[in-house]
Structure 1
Amino acid sequence: MKTKNKSKLMSHMILSGKAPSLPSLGSHFQIPDLFLAPKLPARRARTPLAVRPLTQMEIGGLDSDGREFRNADEMWREEVGDGDHQKKSQWYNKGINYWEGVEATVDGVLGGYGHVNEADIKASEEFLNTILPERFPDAGRGRHLVALDCGSGIGRVTKNLLIRYFNEVDLLEPVSHFLESARVNLAPENLMVSELHKAANFYCVPLQEFTPDAERYDVIWVQWCIGHLADDDFISFFKRAQAGLKPGGLFVLKENIAKTGFVLDKEDKSITRSDSYFKELFNQCGLYIYKMKDQKGFPDELFAVKMYALTTEMPRQEKDFIIIRGLLYTAKIRGSDFVTAKAPRKYRS
């Protein structure tokens, strides 16, 4: 688990929601110059050009030492380089090295916050129960459900949640001693489920290097691990993983959320992104938000946590709105009366 207050500056910035300040423009333009400048002929006022608002990737962020970055690109260039494969490998190796020094227990994988395990599983189960009946109405009546647990650690989420709803669960985890612990925790004799439910495969592979078997999974569950991926690898992973979904399958992403921009953790080499930052990445992955929900019941000192259900197909409401907008645009071109329509709730920003 990630706390919000690794430093006084970081705590202030996150809790206040204040974006990091931009560098000063300097003193080349001074107020007295206004009075010394020659008077120019009056010009007809012009309508100001529309200014494109900054995206969350262009908004500044900071690291766990309190250092500010102007935008995400500046941070990523410094951390993983620009096409520098060696530097990017160092980023990922440092992240794995950090977790290799953590004990393979619930308290260890939750960063000393093992007591939030129950609240985490409860909220995840409630979220899952809003999805499964809608997406897989034939579950339990002959449909064999398969899930992938990404960043599975010691199998905490699989054992407490996924294996009760899915016939097979594959585990993906790059830290070998976590995965070995998961094998023990998920051995048939240690599970209180029927023989129709099992942990099937254990992959000791990093997310950025994993390619799933085609159309194997109904749900790919990604929790508290995607922050270790640089933006380009985030996009590449989800694009590859889409091929691993069965028709109608979806992703569930559960992650820490920064109030604005991003926060870089220099100790474990991970980034906490804002909700808007995530949504920009979802767009680039070709994913749509099917449902989302906030995690409740966590201590105040922890980052906020959100759950996203992501699909590869556009939601029907958005399709309908695009069709209506197109018809209205056509009507306007033809000289018909143009009636504005209120847009439905956006599922994809």
Structure 2
Amino acid sequence: MLCANSNLCLNSYLAATATETHQARDKCRVRTRATTRIEMEIGGLDSNGREFKSADEMWREEVGDSQKKLDWYRNGVGYWQGVDASVDGVLGGYAHVNEPDIKASEAFLNTLLTELVPNGGRNQHLVALDCGSGIGRVTKNLLIRYFNEVDLLEPVSHFLEAARENLAPENLSVSEEHKASNFYCTPLQEFTPDTQRYDVIWVQWCIGHLADDDFVSFFKRAKAGLKPGGFFVLKENLAKSGFVLDNEDKSITRSDVYFKELFNQCGLNIYKLKDQKGFPDELFAVRMYALTTETLKKVGGSRPKRKANRPAIIK
């Protein structure tokens, strides 16, 4: 299934076993674990302190057959169906992190638009997809101010209805040229975007609900939804090492090493990354990744140069 809009995690939950776990969540759902098997020799823990020798061992147990996988996603969505459609609800009781979250995301997005989008996106019709949008928190506070159109993808129906209300024109302080266009009540693992519709696909606090194979298949499908030169932003909790499985809401917090292995499987390149600052110490660390489908490198410290050949106007 898909994801929503608040996915924080407490690192004190498993203090007795020298690990971290979760408590808040930007909400999400995920999809089943397809036929592709990704062998991950990365150990981890669940929220009860149980140890796993590898991610593959954990995934075999959690989603090892079609019924288990169906239950995994059903239970994940079911968890969020019982959560209030409010900022405090989707942020797991940590509504006060909304401000530093948006501030850091905006600074990161500004840098990316300046470096990756011609003219910084000025005088262009920009379109974004908010994955695991929840009640529209990220769209309303950030994306709709930078993009002419934002589509929202969210599997929990009462969250999406709240987003419709929150993003109604009369509730926004942006011009008529900026709007929420489409509201998809669809799980992330089942969504296929329109070809070359999006300049940016924003994925925040929801990818943890996807099993590894669905993680990879989602990004492979979503790449076709990017315009030429478009990119992903993934903002997620980080385990210090390995992974932490949350048994309650059926999600996994991955380490940086784990993420990089999956990015490689997706055929994605890390263009830039930045750590979130200003969150309470008891929460998981949070990192932002800018991911591109091409390998980019800086030229003279200014704009990135695309290694792949791309159409250009001959003057």
TM-score normalised according to structure 2 size: 0.85
Q: Is the 8 Å Cα contact of residues 136 and 167 (structure 2) preserved in structure 1?
A: yes
Please name the residue that 1:79 is paired with.
62
How many residue pairs get matched? 279
Query: 2:11 & 2:120 partners in 1: Cα distance?
Result: 39
Please tell me whether the aligned partners of residues 11 and 19 of structure 2 are also in contact (alpha carbons under 8 angstroms): no
1:1-349 → structure 2 map (5 Å cutoff): 1-10=8-17, 12-14=18-20, 57-81=40-64, 84-139=65-120, 141-316=122-297
The question of whether the paired residues in 2 share the 8 Å contact of 1:151 and 1:173 is answered with yes
Aligned residues of 2:14 and 2:20 also touching (Cα < 8 A)? no
Aligned mates of 2:263, 2:121 — CA distance in 1: 31
* Separation (CA, whole Å) in 2 of partners of 1:274 and 1:297: 20
Given that 2:10 and 2:20 are in contact with CA atoms closer than 8 Å, whether structure 1 keeps it comes out as no
* Cα shift readout 1:4-41 (whole Å, capped 9, x = no counterpart): 1223434x2349xxxxxxxxxxxxxxxxxxxxxxxxxx
Gaps of 5+ in 1: 16-54, 323-349
Identity of aligned residues (%): 76
Equivalent residue for 1:346? none
AA of the residue aligned to 1:76: W
Q: Distance in 1 between matches of 2:20 and 2:275?
A: 18
After superposition, the Cα gap between the structure-2 partners of 1:56 and 1:76, relative to the gap in structure 1 and judged at 3 Å, is closer
Residues 211, 240 of structure 1: 8 Å contact kept: yes
Q: Distance in 1 between matches of 2:54 and 2:232?
A: 28
Give the residue type in structure 1 aligned to 2:43: G
Structure 2, unaligned stretches of length 5 or more? 1-7, 22-37, 308-315
Contact 1:235 1:284 in 2 (8 A): yes
SS of the residue corresponding to residue 294 of structure 2 reads coil
Give CA deviations for 1:55-114 in whole Å, capped at 9, x if unaligned: 993121000000000000000000001xx1121010000000000000000000000000
DSSP 3-state at the match of 1:280 = helix
Larger radius of gyration: 1
CA distance in 1, matches of 2:122, 2:209: 38
Distance 1:56 1:304 in 2: 25
State whether residues 58 and 73 of structure 1, in contact with CA within 8 Å, keep that contact through their aligned partners in structure 2: yes
Counterpart in 1 of 2:312?
Answer: none
Greater RCO, 1 or 2 (C-alpha within 8 Å, sep 6+): 2
Per-residue deviation, 1:2: 1.3
Post-superposition shift, 1:317? Answer: 6.4
Q: CA deviation at 1:136?
A: 1.3
State the SS of the aligned residue for 2:19: helix
- CA contact under 8 A between 1:56 and 1:277: conserved in structure 2? no
Let me know the Cα RMSD of the aligned residues.
Answer: 2.0
